[in-house]
Amino acid sequence: MPLSVTDVVVRDAGGLERRLGDWNGQVLLIVNVASRCGFTRQYAGLQALQERFADRGFAVLGFPCNDFGGQEPGTLPEIQQFCSTTYGASFQLFDKVHATGSKTAPYDTLTQAEPAGDVAWNFEKFLIGKDGTVLARFKSNVEPDGAELAAAIEQALAA
Query: Which residues does residue 65 pair with via DSSP β-bridges, in sequence order?
Result: 97
> pLDDT of 32-66, one tens digit each?
999 999 999 999 999 999 999 999 999 999 999 99
> pLDDT of 72-86, one tens digit each?
999 999 999 999 999
What's the average model confidence in pLDDT over 107-136?
94
CA proximity to 134, closest of 146, 147, 124, 120: 124
In whole angstroms, what is the distance from residue 146 CA to residue 12 CA? 28
In whole angstroms, what is the distance from residue 151 CA to residue 35 CA? 27
Local confidence band at 2 (pLDDT 50, 70, 90 cut-offs): confident
Residue 1 has pLDDT above 70, yes or no: no
Which sign, positive or negative, has the C-alpha torsion 126, 9, 59, 154?
positive
- Domains within the chain, CATH numbers bracketed: 9-158 (3.40.30.10)
Active-site residues, by number, are 37
Residue 9 has pLDDT above 80, yes or no: yes
Rounded CA Rg of the chain: 14
